[in-house]
């Protein structure tokens, strides 16, 4: 497969339209006042399965030909991508196998199983996950849908920013970055629709390899994630790094305390239940007032699958 382009984002938008929600864009005058800018929140926590991940998974599943569909799909995922692929496969009526690491959020595993996918548990290392995936791929002939390096997944994730830019002019868009699927897809949408819009990547300090990679000009992969943002513990993919570097995206590093405070703001002022991995983008804006003052800023609220009890205890 070649790198995805803006045309692939447009094709994804058409392909997922019968299945995915066009999510609303929310605003809050209270948070605008705190941030000193004009914020437009793309509400992907209201997407199906409660996260933007449904876009990419749906695009991959509905891109399969009949023969490929018959053999099903397989992935490894700490949560939202697994649920997304399971629902997309269920909608198409095909098999889905999901490799999940020990220690994943129980609520997310239950959601994956509820959509009819087969769960396969493995050690919580990238190597163990990829080995089990490869084995399932070989024995079943199933299509591997990687959570963030698959070009169809990247193109699908880009449809969130495509929708956002279709209805308002923005000076900047801030998205959370983990593996980089949403980030790379957003870069494609910006390049195609509004090249002057700046792309910022909000990243937790406990898993800030994207910031390190962009600064060094080479991908950093040796790190041990330590962050409350369970959706952002993955390692930036190679294709994602290349795309983000070529685009000129800029990383903003945020500590977990700031992310949790931003999450509370979204909960209490907007009444929207978002997960920490979503709130990191707002935290990045609040921590960098000089960058965003008086500007029109899009923020992707990436998901809402949060363990409320754990957050209240945190």
* Active site amino acids: 53, 78
Q: Does 231 bind a copy of itself (CB under 8 A)?
A: no
User: Cα–Cα distances in Å, from 306 out to 19, 156, 196, 265?
Assistant: 23, 23, 34, 15
Give, to the nearest 10 degrees, the angle between helix 181-193 and helix 6-16. 110
| 99 versus 112: smaller Cβ distance to a copy of itself | 112
Q: Does 186 bind a copy of itself (CB under 8 A)?
A: no
Q: Does 309 bind a copy of itself (CB under 8 A)?
A: yes
**Pattern of binders to a copy of itself over 98-117, x per CB under 8 A?**
---------x----------
| 20 versus 251: smaller Cβ distance to a copy of itself | 20
Q: Are strands 25-26 and 38-43 parallel, antiparallel or unpaired?
A: antiparallel
Tokens of 179: 């593996």
72 — phi, psi (to 5°)? 80, -175
Closest CA to 180 of 128, 110, 251, 111: 251
Q: Does 140 bind a copy of itself (CB under 8 A)?
A: no
Q: Does 302 bind a copy of itself (CB under 8 A)?
A: no
Q: What is the DSSP string of 184-196?
A: HHHHHHHHHH-TT
Which residue in the set 4, 50, 158, 185 belongs to the binding site for a copy of itself (CB under 8 A)?
50
Q: Does 21 bind a copy of itself (CB under 8 A)?
A: no
What's the sign of the alpha-carbon dihedral 270, 147, 77, 72? positive
Binding region for a copy of itself (CB under 8 A) out of 43-51, 117-125, 172-180, 201-209: 43-51
Which residue in the set 91, 131, 144, 267 belongs to the binding site for a copy of itself (CB under 8 A)?
267
Q: Which residue ranges make up the site for a copy of itself (CB under 8 A)?
A: 24, 45-46, 50, 107, 267-268, 271-274, 304, 308-309, 312
């Amino acid at each position: 497969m070649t790198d995805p382009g803006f045309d692939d984002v447009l094709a994804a938008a058409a392909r997922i339209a019968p299945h995915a929600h066009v999510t609303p864009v929310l605003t809050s005058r209270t948070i605008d006042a705190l941030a000193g800018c004009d914020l437009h929140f793309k509400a992907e926590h209201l997407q199906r399965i409660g996260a933007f991940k449904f876009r990419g998974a749906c695009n991959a599943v509905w891109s399969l030909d009949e023969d490929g569909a018959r053999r099903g799909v397989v992935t490894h995922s700490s949560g939202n991508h697994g649920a997304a692929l399971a629902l997309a496969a269920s909608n198409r009526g095909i098999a889905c196998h999901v490799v999940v690491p020990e220690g994943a959020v129980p609520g997310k595993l239950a959601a994956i199983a509820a959509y009819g996918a087969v769960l396969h548990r493995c050690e919580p290392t990238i190597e163990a996950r990829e080995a089990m995936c490869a084995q399932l791929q070989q024995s079943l002939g199933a299509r591997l849908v990687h959570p963030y390096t698959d070009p169809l997944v990247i193109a699908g994730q880009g449809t969130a920013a495509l929708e956002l830019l279709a209805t308002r002019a923005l000076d900047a868009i801030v998205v959370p970055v983990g593996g980089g699927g949403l980030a790379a897809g957003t870069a494609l949408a910006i390049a195609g629709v509004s090249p002057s819009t700046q792309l910022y990547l909000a990243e937790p300090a406990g898993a800030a390899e994207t910031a390190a990679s962009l600064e060094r000009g080479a991908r950093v992969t040796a790190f041990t994630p330590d962050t409350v943002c369970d959706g952002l513990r993955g390692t930036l993919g190679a294709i994602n790094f290349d795309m983000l570097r070529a685009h000129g995206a800029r990383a903003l590093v945020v500590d977990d305390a700031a992310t949790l405070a931003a999450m509370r703001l979204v909960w209490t002022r907007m009444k929207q239940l978002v997960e920490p991995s979503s709130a990191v983008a707002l935290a990045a804006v609040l921590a960098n007032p000089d960058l965003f003052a008086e500007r029109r800023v899009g923020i992707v609220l990436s998901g809402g699958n949060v363990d409320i009890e754990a957050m209240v205890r945190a």
